[in-house]
Amino acid sequence: MSVSRSGSRVGVWLIGARGSVATTVVAGCAAICAGLHPPTGMVTETPPFASSELPPLPSLVFGGHDTVDCPLPKRAEELAAGGVLPPGLPTAVASELAAADREIRPGGPLPGDTRDQEALISAFAADIQDFVRRLGPTRAVVVNVASTEPPPTDQALPPSTLYAAAALRAGCPYLNFTPSTGLHHPALATAAAESGLPYAGRDGKTGQTLLRAALAPMFTQRALAVRAWSGTNLLGGGDGASLADPAAAAAKNAGKERVLADTLGTPPEGEVHIDDVPALGDWKTAWDHVAFDGFLGTRMILQTIWQGCDSALAAPLVLDLARLTARAHERGLSGPLGELGFYFKDPVGDGPAALAEQYAELVRFAERLRAPGAGGQGRADGGAGEER
């Protein structure tokens, strides 16, 4: 663990700040800082990132928006009862949870809210600016970890886009860990381009798609012909319910299928299902069935079963992304950070889709984030993001 540089704090503003992922982010960061757990799952704590001058974990301060009221310490207790957080952890990091809880502001719009879009954006931006002013971080990053919203069906900006607009107005880099629209809305295109801020997304790659990005290149490299790639996801937490809505699932599945089309060269047969199974709680299971042809057309099959805890998979990546993007902002990078494709199902930019290549690009990005004169170069070849 790096040591905090005196006086330098970095804000992490979480949209969906009372959800499972956000609660795990806050509790986990505190647990690692306290030495209660090693930073398993955090890529930015591995050697290739040691010289990138990322903000140290103890320098992170948390706040955010949410539309529900349940206090973070209570949410953490619920997660511990469900086996998502280790028993005893909520008590051990109670003060950090309470501190973050105090920085959560009401999101929206809730039913009955009569404010127009401009008023909502202004209010959200003011919340973020107030957080920065009071807590004094040198910069803050806004991360969307709210439940997946259905794709917009009318002219109104969806909530995720209102929050993204607020981030731009508050001068904060923006990360979209969900398949929701966020900054991808055409109405924000000009503002994003002119903001001089770095941003990245969409949809964290935490399970089935992570596996697909690791496995699909194997078939291509071995010249094996994938005929059909079918999959079913069972998940029970809030995301299970959101994604039971076919429209919301469609947004997520588009990202999943893009990975296959990009790594295999052509999209194979096969569907993806996302089932809401409340009995699974925050755990998810993904079954994949890959039918491929080998030599002389011999039919073969690969199946994978991934059983993971959604929040535990997502939280360390959120911490990674917040640190990387904060540092990118500090180094003056702006625009879409395509080098973060390692983390996303549907990344910004035109980066590679194969996991190994995405990882190599991320490691090059880590070098680029080093201080000038520290042995790193200022500009990676073909790198996404532009320096001001």
Per-residue x/- mask for a second copy, residues 202 to 221, rule CB under 8 A? --------xx--xx-xx--x
Closer to a second copy by CB, 192 or 280: give it: 280
| Count of beta carbons in the 10 Å neighbourhood of residue 245 | 16
Closest by CA position to 341, among listed 357, 325, 318, 323: 357
Closer to a second copy by CB, 256 or 329: give it: 256
Q: Which of residues 155-174 bind a second copy (CB under 8 A)?
A: none
Closest by CA position to 324, among listed 204, 164, 200: 200
Q: Least distance from C-beta 284 to a second copy, angstroms?
A: 10
HSE, CB side, 13 Å, CA atoms: give it for residue 88. Answer: 2
Instruction: Mark residue 25 as left, alpha or beta (left: phi above 0; alpha: psi -120 to 50; beta: remaining).
Output: alpha
Q: Which of residues 56-95 bind a second copy (CB under 8 A)?
A: 80-81, 83-87, 89
CA distances from 163 to 98, 144, 235, 334, 342 (A): 23, 8, 26, 19, 24
24 binding a second copy? (CB under 8 A): yes
293 binding a second copy? (CB under 8 A): yes
CA distances from 74 to 28, 83, 105 (A): 15, 14, 17
Closer to a second copy by CB, 146 or 312: give it: 312
Binding region for a second copy (CB under 8 A) out of 61-69, 146-154, 166-174, 267-275: 267-275
Closer to a second copy by CB, 2 or 230: give it: 230
271 binding a second copy? (CB under 8 A): yes
Closest by CA position to 27, among listed 15, 13, 41, 37: 37
Pull the structure tokens for residue 388: 């001001």
Q: Least distance from C-beta 86 to a second copy, angstroms?
A: 6
Q: Least distance from C-beta 34 to a second copy, angstroms?
A: 12
Closer to a second copy by CB, 136 or 246: give it: 246
Q: Least distance from C-beta 306 to a second copy, angstroms?
A: 5
Q: Is the dihedral of CA 158, 162, 165, 171 positive or negative?
A: negative
Q: Give SS3 for 174.
A: strand
| Nearest-angstrom CA–CA distance, 103 and 64 | 6
Q: Is the dihedral of CA 242, 243, 248, 254 positive or negative?
A: positive
Q: Which of residues 326-385 bind a second copy (CB under 8 A)?
A: 342, 354-357, 359
Instruction: List the one residue from 1, 119, 187, 300 that touches a second copy (CB under 8 A).
Output: 300
Closer to a second copy by CB, 97 or 162: give it: 97
Q: Least distance from C-beta 362 to a second copy, angstroms?
A: 8
Q: Least distance from C-beta 388 to a second copy, angstroms?
A: 30
Q: What are phi and psi of 174, to 5 degrees?
A: -130, 135
Closer to a second copy by CB, 43 or 60: give it: 43
